[in-house]
Amino acid sequence: MFSKCSVVLLNVLFLVRALSAHECTPCNLRTCPVKAPHGCEGGRTLARDPCGCCDQCTRLEWEPCGGQDWTHGYCALGLTCASVNKTGAATIPEIGVCKVLPDHPEAGLEDERCPLMTGCDRAGGQCVCDARHSCLGSFIYPDQETCMKASKTEGRRHEHRERHREKYVGPSNPACMFSGCNLTAEGCVCESQSCHHHFAYINRSQCQEAAEELRCAGVTCPALQVPSCPHDSVLTKSYTPPAGCCPSVPPQCTCDLRACHKPQCPSGQRAVSLSQASGQPGDCCDIFECQKVSPKCVHNGKEFSEGEVYRMDPCWLCQCRGGISFCSKAECAELDCENFYIPEGECCPVCIDDSCPIWENTALQCPMGYERDAFCCGVRGSIPTPKCRLLTPALRPALWI
């Protein structure tokens, strides 16, 4: 019985751990969406999901993203897959929304969740190669050899253009400047520099939208509930799966963090946070108040407020005024004694009381010498330490010290 319970418990613990880690489904068990035959359009680029399995066109601002195995897509450069109703990034398998987070203006350039990518860019006429974790194909060239060849080719093209610049007289037929697309049984067919203006759509994106409408012409989708958003929020876009006709994620209200601003305080004041926003629509922005700046003094890593008095050392007493330490040295009174000492943590010496009340009317026999303690009445002798015999007033032996 115990062994069966143990096995069940281990299985439950393993399941909880796997769910909490939100690990990706193995690539061989997934079906990736069909890639666009002519690449991504409308400001989108191709992105490999953080699981390293599927390529999809990036999601744009206010579009849904993330989800289990990132099936809802990865955001374009500069956008973060953020939580819809909280602050910060979405936690997979949460479905988030692509938005600008002010603290992450270069989001997507590097992402530790993504596969390691290598490649090269050109900077200052040189090929600069690097490796970084990224889901976006942010390198122009896959390797240094390709980059070097492209540099040489570009140089020859530039030289050729310069050499033949005066010979260029424009297109052979200025009338052949039309471009566009037509929707056929095989899909969208596009042409450029055509001599005939016979296109139904101005670009491939418009043509593909029309094709989707025709494909889903006989499908009736349920009405979407469109909420009314507070002034600090915007409405996200709905999400329709690549092979679907109806949205699977409806539009929602989410915070527009670009509308949040710290107040510009006048000289001598600074913005102090009074409350932190929750990220829920209607509570998107932190609340600040301009407050007068009170400069602080710092000594040995400790801060002191305006008017606070403190010691820099036992002899120097300071007061913080306007962020500056004003210090004065303690003046010690003149002592009227020969024997004195400085108490621990103090600056000025104090006299030692010459009287020894506890030894009054008492006799000591110190065969090896006697010396009075600095703190009064202790007994210590010259080396070697003496043995002093304490006698009562009647001079009877009492004890050895």
Instruction: State residue 232's pLDDT score.
Output: 92
Phi-psi domain of 78 (left: phi exceeds 0; alpha: psi -120 through 50; beta: other)? left
Residue 117 contacts residue 137 (beta carbons within 8 Å): yes
Residue 236 contacts residue 227 (beta carbons within 8 Å): no
* 368, amino acid identity: M
88 CB neighbour count, 10 Å cutoff: 13
Averaged in consecutive runs of 10 residues, what is the pLDDT profile of the chain (401 residues)? 43 37 80 74 86 91 94 93 91 93 86 87 84 83 85 60 50 68 82 78 82 81 90 93 86 92 87 91 93 85 88 89 88 84 84 64 63 50 46 44 46
Residue 398 contacts residue 370 (beta carbons within 8 Å): no
Q: Which CATH number is 31-158 given?
A: 4.10.40.20
Q: How far is CA 113 from CA 49, 101, 109, 133, 142, in A?
A: 9, 18, 12, 7, 21
Boundaries of every domain in the chain: 31-158, 297-335+342-351, 354-400
Instruction: State residue 358's pLDDT score.
Output: 55
